[in-house]
Amino acid sequence: MTHILHRLAAAVLAVGLTVPVVACTTTGGTTTINTAELAADAGALDFAAQAIESIPTLSSHLTADQVAQVNAALTQIKTITAQINASTSGSIDINTGRGWASSLATEFQTVLSVAGTVASALDPAVAGYIQTAEQIVPLIEAAVGLTPASVSVTAAALPAPQVRAALYRGV
pLDDT along the chain (171 residues), means of 10: 41 34 61 83 94 90 95 96 85 87 94 91 87 90 70 59 91 76
Distance between CA 21 and CA 110 in Å, rounded? 27
Position 19 scores a pLDDT of: 32
Position 123 scores a pLDDT of: 84
Position 21 scores a pLDDT of: 40
Position 157 scores a pLDDT of: 64
Nearest in space to 56 (alpha carbons), one of 14, 118, 100: 118
Distance between CA 105 and CA 135 in Å, rounded? 11
Amino acid letter, 119: A
Position 163 scores a pLDDT of: 92
Position 18 scores a pLDDT of: 32
Position 50 scores a pLDDT of: 94
